């Protein structure tokens, strides 16, 4: 007579559960537990050096690009001064070599021009001497001239030929000096390459020197954690400050496998924090993981404590500065049947688009 008690009890519990689920869906109270997070930005040192100053403390507001820490830069400054001096010396040598090239080129052109003029003059004299010699030969054959005049014409012709040969030799020597100009130009090019290399090294040192002043990101942030203090030695990768963008926050939720089909990126939601019960803020689903994971213990659901869930992010659309990281709350799905939240749904959808 007592056997039917168990099936009847189970049936009653199923009816109550179904009624509760139906009432929850009808009232639009489907929600997921979540907590506020922010994209924390850890600013790190890129160089080695002893920390001289940390300009901000925990809780301070940091303007964009503000210097937040400074490292001792004595060594890099010494290297910069030496490299600047080297660059200045090379610049002076280049100017001197350029002047020398210009002077050598000008002298060479004048020398070549003068030697060419001498050659033309010698050739003209040689041509005249050759004509005179030929004429004297004809006159001697006719008896109109003497042997002495013929000998003098022959001697003058020979001297003129020697002058031409000497002028040609001098012109060839002057033209050969063009090789010295080429050597001077190559030396000038080498100096210019050395200067370019020194300037590149100087620019690299200046970039490195700039890293000894550690700056904040391009947006206004708030210091969450100070991770280094003056007097400590920083290495490349050493964290200095952990910063948080007050406008870059979201609510992270975990959606059970059974509900993941009803959630999509861009879907409007409403967020209600535990610290502000009864006040809902519009949001939108901005991320839904492709792979399932296990529910973290801190936000495990009553329906399936050990089941797999999908991680999702909800972007906050209003009053994002008032949401403190770590605060927990509920994220409510906005549906058309929820008349009280339809206006906010449209606003969230418009903001996402």
Report the CATH number that the domain containing residue 127 is assigned in CATH.
1.10.287
Instruction: Give the separation between CA 256 and CA 301, rounded to whole angstroms.
Output: 9
What single-letter DSSP state applies at residue 260?
Answer: G
Within a domain: residue 4?
no
- What does each C-alpha distance from 135 to 142, 143, 241, 290 come to in angstroms? 11, 12, 106, 113
Same-domain check for residues 81 and 203: yes
Same-domain check for residues 142 and 84: yes
> Contact 258/32 with Cβ under 8 angstroms?
no
Of the candidates 147, 176, 209, which is a domain's last residue?
A: 209
Within a domain: residue 71?
no
> Contact 211/46 with Cβ under 8 angstroms?
yes
Of the candidates 209, 239, 268, which is a domain's last residue?
A: 209
Structure tokens at 47: 């160089």
Length of the chain, please? Answer: 353
pLDDT of residue 297: 56
Question: Starting from the edge strand earliest in sequence, which strands make up the sheet with 49-54, in order?
Answer: 213-215, 67-71, 49-54, 233-234
Instruction: Give the separation between CA 159 and CA 129, rounded to whole angstroms.
Output: 9
pLDDT of residue 81: 96
> Contact 262/25 with Cβ under 8 angstroms?
no
Within a domain: residue 1?
no
Q: Which residues contact 89 (CB under 8 A, 6 or more apart)?
A: none
CATH number at 35 reads 2.40.30.170
Same-domain check for residues 196 and 241: no
pLDDT of residue 9: 39
Within a domain: residue 268?
yes
Same-domain check for residues 233 and 180: no
Number of domains composing the chain: 2
Helices (H) and strands (E) in the chain, counts: 5, 13
Axis-axis angle for helices 178-210, 74-142 (nearest 10):
170
Quick one: which H or E segment has residue 302? none
Within a domain: residue 18?
no
The alpha-carbon radius of gyration of the chain (Å, integer) is 47
Of the candidates 209, 243, 274, which is a domain's last residue?
A: 209
Domain hosting 180: range is 76-209
pLDDT of residue 349: 42
Q: Which residues contact 44 (CB under 8 A, 6 or more apart)?
A: 236, 237, 238, 239, 240
Same-domain check for residues 39 and 89: no
Question: What is the mean pLDDT for each group of 10 consecutive residues in the chain (353 residues)?
Answer: 38 38 49 84 94 94 95 95 96 93 86 87 88 85 81 86 87 80 89 95 96 94 93 95 87 83 86 85 89 61 58 87 83 64 41 40
């Amino acid at each position: 007579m007592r056997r039917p008690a168990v099936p009847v009890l189970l049936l009653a519990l199923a009816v109550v559960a179904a009624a509760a689920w139906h009432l929850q869906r009808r009232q639009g109270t489907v929600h997921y537990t979540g907590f506020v997070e922010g994209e924390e930005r850890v600013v790190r040192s890129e160089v080695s050096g002893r920390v001289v100053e940390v300009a901000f403390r925990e809780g301070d507001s940091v303007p964009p690009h503000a210097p937040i820490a400074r490292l001792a830069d004595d060594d890099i400054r010494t290297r910069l001064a030496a490299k600047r001096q080297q660059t200045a010396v090379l610049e002076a040598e280049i100017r001197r070599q350029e002047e020398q090239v210009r002077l050598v080129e000008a002298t060479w052109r004048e020398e070549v021009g003068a030697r060419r003029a001498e050659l033309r003059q010698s050739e003209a004299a040689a041509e005249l001497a050759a004509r005179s010699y030929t004429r004297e030969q004809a006159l001697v054959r006719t008896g109109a001239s003497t042997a002495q005049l013929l000998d003098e014409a022959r001697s003058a012709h020979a001297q003129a030929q020697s002058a031409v040969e000497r002028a040609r030799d001098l012109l060839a020597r002057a033209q050969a000096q063009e090789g010295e100009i080429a050597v001077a130009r190559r030396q000038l090019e080498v100096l210019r390459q050395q200067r370019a290399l020194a300037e590149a090294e100087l620019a690299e040192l200046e970039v490195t020197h700039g890293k000894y002043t550690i700056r904040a990101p391009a947006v206004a942030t708030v210091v969450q954690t100070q991770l280094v203090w003056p007097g400590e030695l920083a290495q490349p990768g050493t964290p200095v400050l952990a910063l948080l963008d007050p406008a870059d926050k979201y609510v992270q939720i975990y959606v059970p496998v059974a509900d993941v089909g009803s959630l999509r990126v861009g879907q409007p939601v409403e967020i209600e924090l535990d610290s502000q019960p009864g006040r809902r803020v519009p949001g939108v689903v901005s991320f839904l993981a492709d792979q399932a994971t296990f529910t973290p213990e801190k936000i495990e659901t009553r329906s399936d404590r050990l089941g797999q869930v999908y991680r999702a992010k909800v972007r906050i659309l209003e009053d994002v500065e008032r949401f403190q990281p770590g605060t927990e709350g509920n994220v409510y799905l906005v549906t058309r049947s929820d008349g009280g939240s339809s206006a906010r749904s449209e606003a969230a959808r418009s903001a996402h688009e």
